Amino acid sequence: MVVRDKLIDFSTPRVMGIINCTPDSFYSGSRSMNIDDILARVKDMLKSGADILDIGGYSSRPGAEEVSIEEEIERVVPVISAIRNQFPKAIISLDTFRAEVAEEGLKNGADLINDISGFSIDPKLVDVVVKYKVPYILMHMRGTPQTMQELTDYDNLYKDLVMYFSEKIDYLTKKGVRDILIDLGFGFSKTLEQNHELMQSLEHFQVLNKPILLGISRKSMIYKKLGITAEDSLPGTIALNAIGLSKGASILRVHDVKEAADLIRLIC
């Protein structure tokens, strides 16, 4: 992956720290709307071993309320600008599925786009990625955050996802997207059982020859299975991230950076 003319390789897995500029993300410990609080969190994440910061202004938890484009821009752009000014070497990912939000974020210092929708909600997003020549994280989801949990029927989960990614990667490559990463979309359009089925087959997605981002941090596939809360799900997150690393994950997207960085140091 190339970011600002610098090659970021995945011979050692990387850590992506989650910064939610929202009042309603599923894990309360990740929510923040205050710039000073966010910058303090960023400083701690970078010190703890974050390689990438993922900034999001639209909660994608199941049933999350719609947020206007204008409000999403107002949430994320000041944060991206502040991080870029205070931490000029930081690698900033913008978590959005909207072309307008992506363009404003990239203008103000974002380095790559993390799109939960696989450009199905706003196809113009691909043109923005091509225009700015930035890496693109392609995730699997059906529908929208409001409808995705009603769309969990698959003929064959693994084959359906491989076909989805193959077709999307082919399209993106032909459009001129130079760096593509994939995210299986744990918790998106999948049942609890399907999430764990994907974890067990994670290594088979290396057939796509793209870096795999693993985003399972404190998600319901952990806390619902264990009968606990998101606040108590750090041990389960570490356990599944360890399995993911053993199966070829290249990026761990997490709320708890130090624990993920320590895990990589221990087993990679």
Domain range list for the chain: 2-262
Domain spanning 2-262, CATH architecture: Alpha-Beta Barrel (3.20)
Check 61, 124, 219, 247 and give the catalytic one.
219
- How far is Cα 60 from Cα 186, in angstroms, rounded to an integer? 12
Token reading at 75: 């949430």
Backbone φ, ψ for residue 102 (5° rounding): -60, -45
> ∠69-73-74 over CA atoms, to 5°?
115
> Is the torsion defined by CA of 231, 234, 237, 239 positive or negative?
negative
219 belongs to the catalytic site:
yes
Check 190, 225, 253, 265 and give the catalytic one.
253
Q: What is the model's pLDDT at position 27?
A: 46
pTM: 0.95
Q: Do 197 and 159 form a contact (C-beta atoms < 8 A)?
A: no
- How far is Cα 198 from Cα 178, in angstroms, rounded to an integer? 27
Q: What is the model's pLDDT at position 28?
A: 47
43 belongs to the catalytic site:
no
- How far is Cα 42 from Cα 17, in angstroms, rounded to an integer? 8
Q: What is the model's pLDDT at position 25?
A: 56
pLDDT in tens, the chain (268 residues): 999 889 999 999 999 999 998 875 544 454 566 899 899 999 999 999 999 999 999 987 766 678 999 999 999 999 999 999 999 999 999 999 999 999 999 999 999 999 999 999 999 999 999 999 999 999 999 988 888 888 899 999 999 999 999 999 999 999 999 999 999 999 999 999 999 999 999 999 999 999 999 999 999 999 999 999 999 999 999 999 999 999 999 999 999 999 999 999 999 9
Q: What is the model's pLDDT at position 144?
A: 83
